[in-house]
């Protein structure tokens, strides 16, 4: 198996202008639960063993404040820190014991294209609740990049990710057996494209989608089955314009996986998923996938 210093995507932090509305949506509709609440921050967990998978922080606008990865060991974490510095990332917090409720040891950088990344080791874990029909953990983040090859180089050379597929518009990167934990999308401006939450199975994607639709949030794209990664998907736009995805059944890969190129991922005209049943993506979803930026330096 490829030697990955990062073992998992753990959590994301979003800034939101109305934290109460976001907490209401992510608990009652999306299926997460509040595990800790500070003055201006709320930590939400899925049904898996991560202490939290989403942090919400009161902010003036919707923004991606941070993506957190778990390093395999403290030694790997320190090595990652050196490699990030060498690659020109800005160190926002040097390696140290973390004061967040999830604890552990870690550091924070801003990568050269502006996204804040945190790396942790030894963070607290929860007893999985195995609640049906709700997200278990994060599946992937999809980051817009105006210079996708440079960002792909950073993820591969400095963070130890491996490329699994390159479609015409996207680069798929893995750090464990999941076909992708990070996806980079070609875009005019750097920012957040969407956040995907891992559901227990296909049935949960379907029933979960029904719950979200019932709450007044239409499906923006899906339900369908993606090409690269083979995962089923349903996309929504949250109350603050952040695009979120329910997904399941992502392809499990090892180093025998043949890296695909743009020529491998061509659909017949009008088709946007493997099944051929997903209606075209809504204009609102397309627009939202380009509208959420990173927190300002």
Neighbours of 276 (CB within 10 A): 12
Cβ-based nearer residue to Fe ion, 196 or 242: 196
The binding site for Fe ion (CB under 5 A) comprises: 196, 245
Shortest distance (Å) from residue 212 CB to Fe ion: 16
Straight-line distance from the first to the last Cα atom of the chain, in angstroms, rounded to the nearest whole number: 37
Cβ-based nearer residue to Fe ion, 26 or 107: 26
Burial class (CB in 10 A: 0-12, 13-18, 19+), 198: buried
Shortest distance (Å) from residue 142 CB to Fe ion: 5
Shortest distance (Å) from residue 140 CB to Fe ion: 6
Shortest distance (Å) from residue 93 CB to Fe ion: 29
Shortest distance (Å) from residue 82 CB to Fe ion: 31
Cβ-based nearer residue to Fe ion, 76 or 245: 245
Shortest distance (Å) from residue 53 CB to Fe ion: 15
Half-sphere CA count of 36, side-chain side, radius 13 A: 15
Contacts with 118 (C-beta within 8 Å, 6 or more apart), sequence order: 66, 67, 68, 69, 106, 107, 108
Whether residue 223 is preceded by a cis peptide bond, meaning omega within 30 degrees of 0, is yes
Instruction: Give Cα separations from 204 to 1, 4, 48, 140 (angstroms).
Output: 30, 30, 15, 17
Residue pair 162/174 in contact by the 8 Å Cβ criterion: yes
- The pair of structure tokens assigned to 209 is 């989608």
Cβ-based nearer residue to Fe ion, 158 or 164: 164
DSSP label of 82 = H
Cβ-based nearer residue to Fe ion, 238 or 245: 245
Cβ-based nearer residue to Fe ion, 67 or 196: 196
Q: Which residue is nearest to Fe ion (CB)?
A: 196
Cβ-based nearer residue to Fe ion, 19 or 175: 175
Shortest distance (Å) from residue 167 CB to Fe ion: 12
Kind of pairing between the strands at 41-45 and 54-58: antiparallel
E strands in 86-219:
90-97, 105-110, 116-121, 137-145, 162-166, 170-174, 182-186, 191-198
């Amino acid at each position: 198996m490829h030697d990955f210093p990062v073992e998992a995507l753990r959590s994301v932090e979003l800034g939101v202008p109305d934290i109460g509305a976001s907490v209401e949506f992510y608990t009652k509709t999306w299926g997460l639960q509040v595990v800790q609440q500070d003055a201006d921050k709320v930590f939400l967990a899925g049904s898996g063993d991560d202490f939290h998978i989403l942090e919400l922080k009161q902010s003036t606008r919707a923004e991606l404040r941070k993506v957190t990865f778990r390093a395999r060991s403290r030694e790997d974490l320190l090595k990652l820190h050196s490699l990030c510095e060498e690659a020109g990332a800005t160190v926002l917090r040097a390696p140290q014991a973390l004061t967040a409720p999830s604890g552990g040891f870690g550091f924070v950088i801003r990568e050269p294209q502006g996204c804040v990344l945190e790396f942790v080791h030894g963070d607290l874990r929860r007893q999985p609740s195995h609640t049906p029909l709700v997200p278990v953990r994060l599946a992937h983040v999809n980051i817009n990049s105006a210079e996708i090859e440079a960002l792909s180089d950073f993820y591969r050379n400095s963070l130890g990710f491996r490329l699994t597929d390159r479609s015409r518009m996207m680069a798929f990167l893995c750090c464990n057996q999941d076909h992708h934990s990070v996806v980079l999308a070609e875009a005019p401006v750097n920012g957040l494209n969407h956040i995907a939450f891992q559901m227990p199975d296909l049935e949960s994607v379907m029933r979960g989608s029904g719950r979200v639709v019932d709450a007044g949030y239409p499906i923006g794209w899906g339900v369908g089955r993606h090409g690269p990664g083979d995962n089923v998907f349903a996309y929504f736009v949250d109350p603050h314009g952040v695009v979120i995805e329910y997904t399941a059944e992502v392809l499990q890969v090892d180093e025998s996986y043949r890296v695909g190129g743009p020529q491998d991922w061509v659909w017949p005209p009008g088709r946007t998923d493997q099944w051929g049943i997903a209606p075209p993506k809504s204009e609102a979803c397309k627009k939202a996938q380009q509208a959420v930026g990173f927190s300002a330096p």
